[in-house]
Amino acid sequence: MLFQNEFENLLEYTISLEDAPQKEPLRQAFFVGRCREMVSFREKILGRKLRCQATTLGCQMNAKDTEKLLGILKEIGYEPVEEQEEADFILYNTCTIRENANNKVYGHLGYLQSLKQKNPELIIALCGCMMQEKHVVDTVREKYRFVDIIFGTYNIYQLAEMIYRRLMGEMPVLEVWEKMNCIVEQIPSLRKSDFKAGVNITYGCNNFCTYCIVPYVRGREISREPEEILSEIRKLADDGVKEIMLLGQNVNSYGRGLEKPCTFAELLEECCKVDGIERIRFMTPHPKDFSDEVIRVIARNEKICRHIHLPLQSGSTEILRRMNRRYTTEQYLALAERIREGIPDVALTTDIIVGFPGETEEDFEDTLDVVRRVRYHAAFTFVYSKRTGTPAASYEDQVSPEVVKERFPRLLEEIRRIAAEECEKEVGQVTEVLVEDIDSHEEGFVTGRMGNNLMVHFPGEASLIGQFKKVRLLESKGFYYLGEEV
């Protein structure tokens, strides 16, 4: 058992797991208390606070999960720090969307082993999507036996219980579930921002795009009850949060499976009624489920940001079919047109994959054509890479690296050109900006985000962070602006 020499009466702290409350979140509150007592003993011996460090890889869902995990660690008594060398508890919340994400984690583990050798009582925990893959867990247990705690995506709320088991001598603590048994949201959270917050509205994904591992590691889609979501948003507003982002792998399909029907459009409308919340964003919608009612709700509610991230992936109907995206190029273009007609000041952004198996030059030209017609303000572009466990990985007609290398810069150039032209149209206008941080590149400047999600840098002090300011856009830099407060 860790810290065993520091307890005068071990029996006082030893309980059977069956003796703990069974109902959540009372059960986890119980283990938080037990861990807090044990950590306090350790602090008295060391003469300092115990410290924790968390690294997040992947999407906004992972970032939100890490906030919850850090909230639990803080309740236990750990103080968050930035440097791993200073930590007594290190956590990696992993992503497995691409193979190189896995390799990145394995690379970090070698360094963590050296830290463990220097400090044998350092606790190392791995969680997240990568841990949902059996072959990954087998590799960790075989090659990285110093890892103390391993868990997946479905039971992050159990962190305190897993830490207790580790402190009581279990090694490793392995708790990877095959599916989500329940949703437990009433747990602590340590937000990175005082004025912005993510709010989960769904978990999992039912889409099974042929290139994507997410449905296999995040499970089937589950929607939270609308009143639970609204209650969380109200509490955030009371805590000073001004901007929320509704999170889900496919927010547009929100409400399926609920006993009392509620659509995403209806949820958005209710969110707008929460006093104190001034901006609402959402991520990520799926084009096949984007309803005209959502467009109308956005158009009539100023709180909802004029930014929609609308993943394209490919401009070729044939490639979209092979991706199992369940919409055609024509349907996507028609949706983009309806969005622009209904919300004239909207900024559209997207995701695009280059080199998906079977992509011909004609297919790639179709993608360029959609980029030219939709005119995105920005795009996240990716080179297709095989993801073991997905159907597309076994497709025989993989595109050669040489062809992808030739196509990718052409796409980037088209996106940059169009984005620069779209941004230039806004120069001279005055817009509302939420100041988010000090500008890391220009002394005496701050960085803020506009409603359309683009960034603007302008002269200001740290005291402005978290405030809304009117800013005149003086110069476009392609994907961001320089401005001045008015």
Where does residue 15 rank: exposed (0-12), middle (13-18), buried (19+ CB within 10 A)? middle
* CATH code linked to domain 430-485: 2.40.50.140
pLDDT for the residue 18: 74
pLDDT for the residue 187: 81
Q: In whole angstroms, what is the distance from residue 17 CA to residue 27 CA?
A: 10
pLDDT for the residue 416: 96
pLDDT for the residue 103: 85
Structure tokens at 235: 């509490």
pLDDT for the residue 14: 56
Length of the chain: 486
pLDDT for the residue 15: 60
CATH 2.40.50.140 positions along the chain are 430-485
pLDDT for the residue 119: 93
**What mean pLDDT is reported for the chain?**
94
CATH 3.40.50.12160 positions along the chain are 4-175
Q: In whole angstroms, what is the distance from residue 423 CA to residue 414 CA?
A: 14
pTM, whole model, 2 decimals? 0.91
pLDDT for the residue 339: 98
Nearest to 392 by CA among 337, 336, 320, 483: 320
Which parts of the chain have pLDDT scores under 70?
A: 1-16
Nearest to 392 by CA among 285, 475, 313: 313
pLDDT for the residue 450: 97
Where does residue 331 rank: exposed (0-12), middle (13-18), buried (19+ CB within 10 A)? middle
Secondary-structure class of domain 4-175 per CATH = alpha beta
Contacts of 122 (CB under 8 A, 6+ apart): 87, 88, 89, 90, 115, 116
CA dihedral in degrees (155, 158, 159, 165; nearest 10)? -120
pLDDT for the residue 10: 44
Distances (CA, A) of 391 to 100, 364, 396, 462: 18, 21, 11, 49
pLDDT for the residue 11: 44
437: Cα separation from own chain's centroid: 20
pLDDT for the residue 104: 87
Model confidence pLDDT, tens digit, residues 163-214: 999 999 999 999 999 988 778 877 889 998 999 999 999 999 999 999 999 9
3-state helix/strand/coil string of the chain: CCCHHHCCCHHHHCCCHHHCCCCCCHHHHHHHHHHHHHHHHHHHHHCCCCEEEEEECCCHHHHHHHHHHHHHHHHHCCEECCCHHHCCEEEEEECCCCHHHHHHHHHHHHHHHHHHHHCCCCEEEEEEHHHHCHHHHHHHHHHCCCCCEEECCCCHHHHHHHHHHHHCCCCCEEECCCCCCCCCCCCCCCCCCCCEEEEECEECCCCCCCCCCHHHHHCCCEECCHHHHHHHHHHHHHCCCCEEEEECCCHHHCCCCCCCCCCHHHHHHHHCCCCCCCEEEEECCCHHHCCHHHHHHHHHCCCECCEEECCCECCCHHHHHHHCCCCCHHHHHHHHHHHHHHCCCCEEEEEEEECCCCCCHHHHHHHHHHHHHHCCCEEEEEECCCCCCCHHHHCCCCCCHHHHHHHHHHHHHHHHHHHHHHHHCCCCCEEEEEEEEECCCCCCEEEEEECCCCEEEEECCHHHCCCEEEEEEEEECCCEEEEEEC
